[in-house]
């Protein structure tokens, strides 16, 4: 997304600041699927929205990475009944709707439309970033990864937080636009703009598929 979307003054300001340079794309990426659980991907749940298109595009991305053995890490927000009902998690005072994300509930199940395999990883988290308070950074390092393709929901919340912490943890960040979604278009677009300017490359799904298809071990 170009800064021109927000006017010439914004474009000049960001260009002068040196934002928006392309990231390095490594030879060992991982796909991190942030919170594409039913509580976020189905509009029947209070915290959710209809993210069928995002789920479909993410599934396509995952399948494209299988021939090259690209690791896939799913994340889910899940709280114990005590955490959901009490005061221990400060975030829940602000985001009251998240209290429904209780361990074992339908809301925290990974969307069944995704091609999840037995060898894929699952990170359970309590906050927005998939890195904060979890073993994700150590897992990616152990897998030898240098680049993270961030998918999931929501763009303005957990996706953005994960992208920021990914680059701060030393990983190049790619965000396939079709693979992330939000409850409203405004926050979605604004945060894609910010990710593109400062933290990673927001790319088309076609570009992401071509990147994965060019990795060693991929089908010709």
**Burial of 142 from C-beta contacts in 10 A (0-12 / 13-18 / 19+):** exposed
- Smallest CA-to-CA distance from 147 within 177, 186, 175, 121 is with 175
What's the residue count for the chain?
220
Does the annotation count 151 as an active-site position?
A: no
Q: CA-CA-CA-CA torsion for 169, 172, 178, 184, nearest 10 degrees?
A: 40
Contact at 8 Å (CB) between 202 and 1? yes
The values of phi and psi at residue 219, to 5°, are -65, 140
Reduce the DSSP state of residue 24 to 3 states and report it: coil
Contact at 8 Å (CB) between 149 and 181? no
Residue with tokens 């990883």, as numbered in its chain = 121
Q: Cα separation of 129 and 103, whole Å?
A: 18
Max CA separation in the chain (angstroms): 54
Please identify which of the residues 145, 151, 158, 179 carries the catalytic annotation: 158
Active-site residues, by number, are 158
């Amino acid at each position: 997304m170009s800064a021109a979307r927000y006017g010439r003054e914004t474009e000049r300001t960001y260009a002068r600041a040196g934002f928006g340079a392309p990231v390095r794309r490594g030879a060992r990426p991982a796909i991190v699927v942030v919170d594409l659980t039913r509580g976020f991907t189905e509009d029947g749940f209070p915290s959710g929205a209809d993210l069928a298109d995002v789920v479909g595009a993410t599934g396509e991305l995952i399948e494209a990475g299988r021939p090259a053995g690209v690791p896939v890490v799913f994340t889910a927000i899940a709280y114990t009944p005590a955490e959901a009902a009490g005061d221990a998690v400060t975030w829940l005072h602000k985001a009251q709707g998240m209290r429904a994300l209780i361990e074992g509930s339908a809301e925290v199940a990974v969307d069944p439309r995704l091609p999840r395999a037995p060898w894929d990883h699952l990170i359970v988290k309590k906050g927005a970033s998939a890195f904060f308070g979890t073993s994700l950074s150590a897992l990616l390092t152990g897998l030898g990864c240098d680049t993270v393709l961030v998918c999931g929901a929501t763009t303005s919340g957990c996706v953005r937080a994960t992208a920021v912490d990914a680059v701060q943890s030393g990983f190049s960040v790619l965000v396939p636009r079709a693979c992330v979604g939000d409850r409203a278009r405004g926050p979605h677009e604004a945060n894609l703009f910010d990710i593109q300017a400062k933290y990673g490359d927001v790319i088309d799904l076609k570009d992401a598929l071509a990147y994965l298809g060019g990795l060693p071990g991929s089908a010709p």
